Amino acid sequence: MQVEEHRPIRYDEREWRPRPTLAGTDYTSEEVWQEERERIWFGDWVVLGRTEEVASPGDYVVRDLAGESVFITRNEAGELKGFYNVCSHRGTKFLDDEPERGHVRKAFKCPYHAWTFDLSGRLIGTPNVREDELFDRSRYPLFGFAVQEYAGFLFVNLAPEPRPLMEWMNEGAESIAMFERYRLDELRIGVRIVYEVAANWKIVVENYNECLHCPSVHPELVQVVPLFRFGEVWDEETRDDGNWMRDGATSFTMTGESQLPKFPDLLPEDYQMYYGAYQFPNLMINLHPDAVMYYIAYPKGPGHTTVVSEYLFRPETIADPNLFKPEPVVELWDLISKQDWEVCERAQTGVGSRAYRTGVYPRQDRFLYDFNERYRKQMGRPLLG
């Protein structure tokens, strides 16, 4: 069957006709959720953190990916490796979920029967298995999957034959590849906040990609980015989907100022600009003159999403207590986040009503419709066009 092409909307359709949203069951159905797990979360590239979390051989992180426990490590050659959190002996869960991060010196040992695997997933120790059993250890490595890094982010793909990362990354209307000048790979995590949101992951993404709600839900935000007062997300002219901050503002804070040093070597207009970009399916990134904040969404079922919010800064800024004063940026984003999660949870309640079948997208919701079309393609559904 020929796959229908998804042409991303680039905000330029003037003769917009109202288009339907996804169905209410797409946000609430257990059957839909199980299909999403296979087609989206286990079938293509997904972001699971930052490479700095596995900076050295033996470092590892454990993640819950749509109900599947996985871990990522770095082997002795410095290569990233991803594994299901499952022993190849009899399926024992290998590593604990908490703490999420850890370090082993040279090998991982199963807590049940002590089978031992090296940092590349090869089985190297099998206590009480005798040599005369003709047991071939090479046939029983850990169950692995593809891992790559880009811009300092960890990308994983559980599909048996993953497609090239950059093909996937450049498929949507926007991509973090537009922002190489920010040197995202050089930045480091300075602040981390975890939110538990009683809403479907798609509602979280859709909320991020529109601003019709901004004037009523985010009075502080629209003071910083004036265009948002009109429910728009882009003026259709500014480079890289950027938005000008208010006159005189040079930082994404209540006052428009901060003591954080500005990033070096940006474009002149970047120092008065806010940029937002969405990387399907679970990365939402916000770029500022002196900090970068992103959300990584981890779906836990049809009605719950764990959202990890992390703030990136230059490493030399973090290292200097006289410079590292992130509180004003964190204060504004934390407020915006909590405002968003409240309305997302209201939306989740509403789409579960027996009265709700489907909603409607006016033109200012056109980016949400584009996301829905990408979702339909990933789910193997016909596109609406």
Query: What does pTM read for this prediction?
Result: 0.94
CB 206 within 8 A of CB 368: yes
CB 172 within 8 A of CB 179: no
Q: Kindly indicate the confidence band of residue 8, based on its pLDDT and cuts at 50, 70 and 90.
A: low
* CA atoms in the 13 A half-sphere facing the CB of 163: 11
pLDDT at 7 over 70: no
Distance CA 319, CA 297 (A): 28
| Predicted local distance difference test score (pLDDT) of residue 231 | 83
Domain boundaries along the sequence of the chain: 19-24+178-378, 45-166
Q: What percent of the chain is modeled with pLDDT above 70?
A: 96
pLDDT at 40 over 90: yes
Kindly report, residue by residue over 131-152, the tens digit of the pLDDT.
778 899 999 999 999 999 999 9
| Predicted local distance difference test score (pLDDT) of residue 319 | 98
Residue with the bigger pLDDT between 29 and 17: it is 29
Q: What is the CATH code for 45-166?
A: 2.102.10.10
Q: Distances in Å between the alpha carbon of 167 and those of 139, 164, 171?
A: 32, 5, 6
pLDDT at 2 over 60: no
Kindly report, residue by residue over 187-238, the tens digit of the pLDDT.
999 999 999 999 999 999 999 999 999 999 999 999 999 999 988 887 778 8
Q: What is the CATH code for 19-24+178-378?
A: 3.90.380.10
Provide the 10 A C-beta neighbour count for residue 289: 21
The residues pairing with 11 across neighbouring beta strands, listed in sequence order, are none
Long-range contacts of the stretch 100-107 (C-beta < 8 A, 24+)? 100/61, 100/62, 100/63, 101/53, 101/59, 101/60, 101/61, 101/62, 102/59, 102/60, 102/62, 103/56, 103/58, 103/59, 103/60, 104/58, 104/60, 104/73, 105/58, 106/58, 106/76
Q: What percent of the chain is modeled with pLDDT above 90?
A: 87
pLDDT at 22 over 70: yes
CB 75 within 8 A of CB 61: no
Residue with the bigger pLDDT between 362 and 16: it is 362
CATH topology identical between 19-24+178-378 and 45-166: no
Q: Kindly indicate the confidence band of residue 14, based on its pLDDT and cuts at 50, 70 and 90.
A: low
Nearest C-alpha neighbor of 142 from the set 86, 64, 102? 86
Amino acid at 15: E
Kindly report, residue by residue over 330-377, the tens digit of the pLDDT.
999 999 999 999 999 999 999 999 999 999 999 889 899 999 999 999
Kindly report, residue by residue over 231-271, the tens digit of the pLDDT.
888 777 888 889 999 999 999 999 999 999 999 999 999 99
pLDDT at 1 over 50: no
| Predicted local distance difference test score (pLDDT) of residue 3 | 47
Q: Distances in Å between the alpha carbon of 11 and those of 20, 100, 131, 295, 360?
A: 17, 40, 66, 23, 17
**Structure tokens that stand for 275 in this block:** 């940029």
